Amino acid sequence: MTAPLDGIKVVDLATLFAGPLAAAFLGDFGADVIKVEHPAKPDPSRGHGPARDGVGLWWKVLGRNKRTVTLNLSDPDGAALLRRLLADADVLVENFRPGTLERWGLGPAELHAVNPRLVVTRISGFGQVGPYARRPGFGTLAEAMSGFAAATGEPDGPPTLPPFGLADSVTALAAAYAVMLALRARDATGTGQVVDLAIIEPIMAMLGPQITWYDQLGYLQPRLGNRSNNNAPRNTYRCADGRWVAVSTSAQSIAERVLRLVGRPELIDEPWFATGSGRAAHADELDAAVSAWVAKRDRDEVVAAFEEAQAAVAPVYDVRDILADPQYAALGTVRTVPDEELGEVRMQNVPFRLADTPGEIRHAGRRHGQDTDAVFGALGLSADELAALRERGVL
């Protein structure tokens, strides 16, 4: 079976985390992704988080489906080798601070002179232009500046950041989408283009109509904890066994079912109950009704009762629950992947399914520079030339 991106060559120069994840998404659907790392400074994700027997586990996920090579781009010979590697490539993914590639003679103009069909994907904290362009930028800063942190957390608490790379992950999805659009445009024009992605922007696009609300009404989204200002009851509730469930009532019919289930049908007849905003204004009363009912029952009993009433509920899972859940098993959400260092490793599978050309995780992240000789040997470098470049620190 031919994968959708068979024949697409992607060169991944990026680190931490949006760029490498975007390249991984392309590799999941058949692109030949070549991960380029500095000979003496591997991708920092290899050392982030827990490790097993000295092998970084985050890298195993982020580096999946990639061949790995080493190359010192700041060395003129390294820059020349990259130009050779890109001569027949389709996509470059990079996240250096703006101006860095240009300083090495590897800016878009120089690269398009070598390969006019190349899609140059540039991911940075603040974009390629503007007063902040040359600042170092990470997902945490994007979560802060986008409006996400200001709207997240308890009403009387501080702005809250996520404990994982949310902005980077959203940017990775946006970058993969942008690459596909640029490749589609290339089909029509025959030429590649530059994709400029600032990490501060994609997460802002996910935050809904906050800018429009403020523009039209002067309204600022407040911190509401787990509540919503659009509907209620909407919260997490603690069960008798100490576990938690989440309840959502975005639809009026669901809200009515929940209140009947928890034994408070009289609230449905209140005039304010007829709209989501009306219910949100009475969230204290509605939360008290739901939490009192939930608190008397174990989680499995709560979920079963909600399902029977056709009301919307979900258990609050940690990873142990995910791995034991039959719905995730049916979807194939978690994949066991072969790995040369760890034997097998489980990780999240491709995040969606195509009926005829599904994606696949073929292998986990490979060792630092594992494919250097094979990749550059295919460009015509002899074993002696490779050895000499390695001795000089170019490879």
Of 90, 168, 287, 371, the catalytic one is 168
3-state secondary structure the chain: CCCCCCCCEEEECCCCCHHHHHHHHHHHCCCEEEEEECCCCCCHHHHCCCEECCEEHHHHHHCCCEEEEECCCCCHHHHHHHHHHHCCCCEEEECCCCCHHHHCCCCHHHHHHHCCCCEEEEEECCCCCCCCCCCCCCHHHHHHHCCCHHHCCCCCCCCCCCCCCHHHHHHHHHHHHHHHHHHHHHHHHCCCCEEEEECCCHHHHCCCCHHHHHHHHCCCCCCCCCCCCCCCCCEEEECCCCCEEEECCCCHHHHHHHHHHCCCHHHHHCHHHHCHHHHHHCHHHHHHHHHHHHCCCCHHHHHHHHHHCCCCEEECCCHHHHHHCHHHHHHCCEEEEEECCCEEEEEECCCCCCCCCCCCCCCCCCCCCCCHHHHHHCCCCCHHHHHHHHHCCCC
Quick check: is 168 catalytic? yes
Catalytic positions:
168
